[in-house]
Homo-oligomer: A and B are copies of this chain.
Amino acid sequence: MNRTGPRVAVVGATGAVGQELLDLLAERDVPLSELTLWSSPRSAGTKISFRGEELTVRELPGEGGLDADIIFASASSGISREHAFRWAEHGATVIDNSSAWRLDDRVPLIIPEVNAEAARTNQGVIANPNCSTIIALMALAPLHRAFGLERATVATYQAVSGAGAAGVTELEEQSRAVLSGSEPATDVFQHVIAFNLFSHDSEIGADGYNDEERKLLEESRKILGVPELAISATCVRVPVFRAHSEAVHTEFSRPVTPEEAREVLAAAPGLKVVDDRDSNTFPMPVAASGRDDILVGRIREDTSRPGSLALFIAGDQVRKGAALNAVQIGELFAG
């Protein structure tokens, strides 16, 4: 540990995103003077090695603070709803990966490459956006700044890792079952995911939109600061282990050429243009997995409206879609 850095706590340390957070804190050499790990009673006692030190995951206390300067909360929305502001009152900056506070007016919703400045004014709780939102906006935000985004429609191709380690295991086991001719068992997902796909497994509102789609709409509007942004999404779970993809159609306040868009996207931080028509190489989930950069390609005119654009994006939803984005928010405060 570094004696001069902040004291850091990770809540939900044993989950998929928690694990990725710890990997990233080590890998990026984030300065920290102390690291404590917290979880539900069920996982408390687990030993986790960090920078050669063995740490024991502790049970989350029901009251008081966590004696930390920065808390990465990567547990359930219920946990964040109950504890986040209390921890903040005890002096911590809480970076919350749940959906509990994302739309709360007191809580900045941050993608560092997009709206880092909005994190400065906070009441101790900062929210990490949903994975599909981060992946879409890494490409849409620079285009918005350059050309004024007026409308976007998104169709997603979402990996099972969005449902945690259990989702990954389910895809593996179901795939084995199908390939050996036996009936795949469903547990995490309602429908079979192996060699299939289905509308996102989240609750559906009266307007027919599921929660995943609603998050993409509402969070995008908040992050871009365009409360009336015309945006729609169809969120679909596909049999991919890790990394989400998104087909996006966009319209701007003025006609935009693919060349102009490519130039803006090539210069945007955290984004890599993968758009090689000659070799038919575009963003793919296997190429995005384990990478920090979000991949964007298939940059072309939307033939249904002159001057508008179509894109295809892929990004690691555990990494930039969750843990990396949270760590980057933390780094804004760790300096």
A residues with CB within 8 A of B: 151-153, 155, 157, 171-172, 175-176, 179, 190-192, 195-199, 201, 204, 207-210, 217, 230-232, 234, 236, 238-241, 245, 247, 249, 258, 277, 280, 282, 284-286, 297-305, 310, 312
Contacts and interface: CB of A to CB of B under 8 A. Distances in A.
A157 B303 contact: no
- Quickly give the copy total for this chain: 2
Contacts of A305: 151, 230, 232
Top 6 nearest A-B pairs by Cβ distance?
Answer: A208-B300, A155-B155, A155-B247, A232-B304, A234-B247, A230-B304
A284 B209 contact: no
B247 A196 contact: no
A280 B179 contact: no
A214 B69 CA distance: 55
Contacts of A282: 198-199
Contact of A236 (B151, B247, B300): B247
6 contacts: A151-B305, A195-B240, A195-B241, A198-B284, A199-B282, A210-B280
A301 to B, nearest CB: 7
Given A153-B153, A172-B179, A231-B303, A280 B199 contact: yes
